[in-house]
A and B are shown apart, each in its own frame.
Chain A
């Protein structure tokens, strides 16, 4: 109780979450009178990062940096526009399709909001869309980023759950597509409600030019998938190779960046990765201490006494995650929830870890868009110069659509694990 209380207090007064986890572990060590653990504390913190899977994190962040500086996102946006014909609310769909393209390359929703806001919102405003709605669509579209592979959240989940990240990526494909279709439905509804303008179709010549211009950009996802399936690279190495490609394309093909932009991109990637990695290191120490005190087994026993139905468990889990998502961001939430609840889900309720992973990641991603703590929401509001409360309100239909998808994923395991089974 003392331990839980001090953790909640630290978080509430604005203590950085990573430090709160590490400090709480320390408090727990003293409270449980196991000071012998102090001798292993530092090594556990270091050891929490000694994991090959985590290398994907700095690399996918680096890939995002290079794509942003190298003008790759812009070309994908133009291509999405070229793909559509004359349609009411065309640019809104373009936004979503471009988000889909970006999601297939980028691992992070916040990175995606940053890039997409710069490209999509001004364009939509010029075409006569209300700005707040444009920002909301951009923010909602970014939810695709962590579900459609590759995904930083899947990487972190895979590392903590000790399951193959490649398989987790495959498990995300169908849910990502369902989410995409659901969002198309929401945009159609919004188009009627807000009277979206109609986009004219491009001429075939313009379309051809956009396609040719986007070909180098399209090579990035092709390189990632191709090098993995071709037996050349692990997913992590694929991100490195794709980064190299993005760098070369940005420098020599699109010439949107110069050699002077490289060093700062590496430094930014290192610092962003470091913040997340330190959080993981602190969480490992925390989870080691609570495991040592046998807390997960106690929680498992308690949950088991509540219900024996996997569906009820998943329902409770989803409510818990949605609540947790409002007060925190996905990555710290994953780190808090997964070590305790995944063993329970698997051993007590027989839930597939891949199904569990996709549900947890999608649910927590929504947390990026929920106030009061919603990094994605605030990024979108900041970049689009709209009040965050307004966007939060406009996002509600997307949010409801996502909730329906989460329920579907909970009810029907084949949606997540089916494709993996087919491929085997």
Chain B
């Protein structure tokens, strides 16, 4: 898979002559997320070496595996969100490549519109899961869990000693950025369809 991405710099396909605010924001966020994901991979790399070393010395550190896994999950959500901005996700482009440029442009608008609908749905699902308004109104987190059967804020991690919600927070963040990139992609493909008129 090493050739999916050729460089760490933004290689957007949607950059018009003068990038608009939306494009620039999406690029900036994608670049930031990519570097953060790279940093997390470096952290995983270091954690695993420390894990092997401490175990070899007979003093294993029990929380390293779990922390490395969460770092990987953060990197996955950050990197794949950035990947949406750069249209790097694997797709079957057989049909789009077989049709006329104009139909292709129209198809792209359809795909990007559906994608935006999906990212909005994902955002709503995550919103309902975190249920921020109800939880702010609740007396205690325990009351919130009892009343809603939603235990998101009380779920513990296994070995780290932190609540899991801190790690789950990557999902609302990724939803925000995914929606931003999906919107930018849609704007770009609409623009290209107009050029074909």
Of listed B5, B45, B108, residue having the most chain A CB within 10 A? B45
Residue of B38, B65, B92, B110 with most chain A CB atoms under a 10 A cut-off: B92
> A403 at interface (Cβ–Cβ under 8 A)?
no
- Residue B141, interface by CB 8 Å: no
Q: How far is the CA of A41 from the CA of B171 in the complex (A)?
A: 12
Given contacts A62-B45, A268-B7, contact A373 B92 (CB under 8 A): yes
B25 at the interface (CB under 8 A from A): no
Q: Digitize A276-299: 1 where CB-to-B-CB distance is under 8 Å, 0 elsewhere.
A: 111101000000000000000000
A: interface residue count bin: 35 or more
Question: Does chain A have a CB within 8 A of B128?
Answer: yes
Interface residue from B78, B92, B110, B114 paired with A274 (Cβ < 8 Å): B78
Interface string of A224-262 (1 = CB under 8 A from B): 000100001110110011011000000000000000000
CB-based contact B69/A271 at 8 Å: no
Q: Is the CB of A22 within 8 A of B2?
A: no
| Interfacial residues of chain B within 1-52, with CB under 8 A of chain A in the complex | 1-8, 34-35, 37-42, 44-45, 48-49, 51-52
B52 touches A241 (CB 8 A): yes
Shortest Cβ distance from residue A286 to the other chain B in the assembled complex, whole angstroms: 13
Q: Which of A46, A152, A272 contacts B171 (CB 8 A)?
A: A46
Instruction: Decide: A267 near B111, CB < 8 A? Known: A65-B2, A240-B45, A274-B78.
Output: no
Known contacts A16-B90, A22-B122, A275-B83; A61/B110 CB under 8 A: no
Please give, as numbers and ranges, the residues of chain A lying within 8 Å of B170 by CB-CB distance: 46
- Tell me which of A13, A26, A244, A277 contacts B49 (CB under 8 A): A244
| Closest beta carbon of chain A to B9's beta carbon, Å | 8
Is B177 interfacial (CB 8 A cutoff)? no
| Known pairs A26-B118, A270-B75; A19 contacts B89 (CB<8 A) | yes
- Whether A271 contacts B126 in the complex (CB less than 8 A), given A68-B2, A152-B1, A281-B76, comes out as no
| Chain A 212-234 interface mask (CB, 8 Å, partner B; 1/0) | 00000000000000010000111
B92 contacts which chain A residues (CB < 8 A)? 11-12, 14, 17, 327-328, 373
Task: List, in ascending order, chain B residues with CB within 8 A of A82's CB.
Answer: none
Partner of A270 from the list B41, B49, B118 (CB cut-off 8 Å) is B41
Min Cβ gap B55→A in Å is: 8
User: Once the chains bind, are B41 and A62 in contact (CB under 8 Å)?
Assistant: yes
Query: Is A64 an interface position by the 8 A CB rule?
Result: yes
A residues less than 8 Å from B68 (CB atoms) = 55
- 6 example contacts (A-B, Cβ-Cβ < 8 A) are as follows A58-B44, A110-B1, A240-B44, A270-B34, A271-B38, A327-B92
